[in-house]
Structure 1
Amino acid sequence: MQNVYDVTIIGGGPAGLYSAFYSGLRGLKTKLIESQQELGGKVLLYPEKLIWDIGGHPPVLGGQFVKQLIEQAKTFDPTILTNTKVDLIERQDDLFIVHTSMGECHYSRTILLAVGGGIINPQKLTLEGAEKYEMANLHYTVQSFQRFVDKEVIISGGGNAAIDWAVELSSIAKSITVVYRNEKLSAHEATIQEAINAGVKIECNTSITKLTSNADKTAIQYVTCENSKTQENSIRQIDEVIISHGYNHEASLDFDEAIALPKKDDYYFEGKATGETAQPGIFAAGDILAFEGKVNLLIGTFQDAANAVNSIKTYLEPSAYRYGMVSSHNELFKEKNRSIIEKQLSKVGN
């Protein structure tokens, strides 16, 4: 007999991770499946960025926030699979069968979709030989600010991510130059002005056209840029290259025709604020879910997750309470609270 879970969560970003915690809180046997090697979703792209919009939480770096989310998600010991891509979901009687790209099948009484924007991969620089520098000084995300201290940095891109990075690095790098192929940057005006005030050099109508390696061919030493209006080329020596050309979003799953879900804008699943979709037994949370009054922020993601899990609980057990008991009165936390308080008291005593 196959191992059947109460809920299988597809996606290991903030929505999926908080859903895993909350489903454990509600006593559901839980499995989480993530296509990438690491949990954290889109937040992994910005480990050094400060996140300010989490209620009651001081500003926290993206990398630290992911660690805390993962730790919280594991509170009730869910089964977690990473590097596992879901290809197809089908229904068989009262169960859902989740098929993966490795030919495995997972069985579940309900499904919670938390795939966000799908599988996200950065749009690569399409210059010959560029890929060989990805392990050296060609970057598609900023993993550590320390690497850019006192460096000559060039950033290709004109969106919010590119200009945010320019602002963040401007206080530590030797110089920052942003090149953008279009006439006008697409980032927020206030952020652009902040970059200008910080001394960031911005060149529009300009693209990187060539990468030239150092003597031992281990890293980029020069970049050639072309101005599309003047047709002039310039060669500049650099230490680090950051490419911020956006991301390719790949839908991470498909459904059997019998349980296909209606979509909005050809991607997002239409549903309710309760996390319910048009298909009984399939629920959704986070960016993938569309409904009137949707809040597309982390605070909205967490509410989506709690609502979806509560809906799953009552779907499986109609007599169950509609909402989970608050943590201050929940028996599940008594022993955990005692352990945490004892640790804090021991630190004070030392």
Structure 2
Amino acid sequence: MQFIDLAAQQKKIRAGIERRIGRVLDHGKYIMGPEVFELEAVLAEYVGVPHCITCASGTDALLMALMALDIQPGDEVITVPYTWISTAEVIALLRAKPVFVDIQPDTFNMDPDKIEAAITSKTRAIMPVGIYGQCADMTRINAIAGRHGIPVIEDAAQCFGATHHGRKSCNLSAIGCTSFFPSKPLGGYGDGGAIFTPDDALADKMRQIRIHGQKVKHQHPLVGINGRLDTIQAAILLEKFTLFPEECEARARIGRCYDTLLAEVPDITVPVIAPGNTSVYAQYTILATDRDALSATLKSRDIPSVAYYTAPLHLQGAFAGLGHQPGDFPVSEHVAAHCLSLPMSPYLTQTDQEAVCNL
């Protein structure tokens, strides 16, 4: 059994992927070729915003978003400690300060009740994360941010395709960012990412930032990065997107099946999907009273599992300078100590699910 079965998907669309790559090889526009702009148009329409700016990775998407908001050294950006390091890493790269707030114990996403106390005169952005496939409570987060005049950047690396009160992820704030890392719900065959915004000026600025701050060729009015998505990756993503809506439905169905199969298993807590949310289950993540024992049991039956983010960011050496101690964010620490992700992909069979859940 595969933890994430990419081969089953490839089998369905291999011929189409090869045709699209062949067209790129024929026209030879490997950087900023027509497939890049086609993909941006397709994804912008899907999300429901005017602007999609593809880029080289989900990390670059977050970095470009912060740069577009002119985040400066000493500024503060509120985010969560229970996430992949990219979320806080990009803040630190700009010499700004990540300000952590704890997560909710059921969704594992940013706790809106904790935000207001973290806002200071130096707060320049709020960056919630849609962990494991569902959006954070963007309605409440946006309301708090709006009262203080603070922009919100949605880190939707894991929840692209999910909805919050009927609106797609990446269409919920000033800027939405996602990742096309191969294991993501919409993943390429290499690194990639995208940024979404309804704001014309921000979109123009991020397009400049993506190409070394270049407005017109050889003219660089601002500092940027080399953040372009390769044309071949865009071609692959275009073909993979033909399956994406049905795969999101399959992920939701498989998630519900897991919920049912695990409902009566002792010492396990299944993930909670908040009212008004849908999830694309980038991972199906449970809490286990004895995670190590459960993981070992699964491994003995050749069933893979993964414990993500076992050391929250506030306890990582990279952020030691912030001065945090164990106990500062107890919910994040509890989830980090007990979380376990089970096999998940749109092609996971019920037979395999039953084998996983036969505990």
Relative contact order, higher structure (CA 8 A, sep 6+): 2
Note whether the superposition's TM-score is higher than 0.5: no
TM-score normalised over the length of structure 1: 0.26
Structure number with greater Rg is 1
**Structure in which a larger fraction of residues adopt strand:** 1
TM-score normalised over the length of structure 2: 0.26
**Structure in which a larger fraction of residues adopt helix:** 2
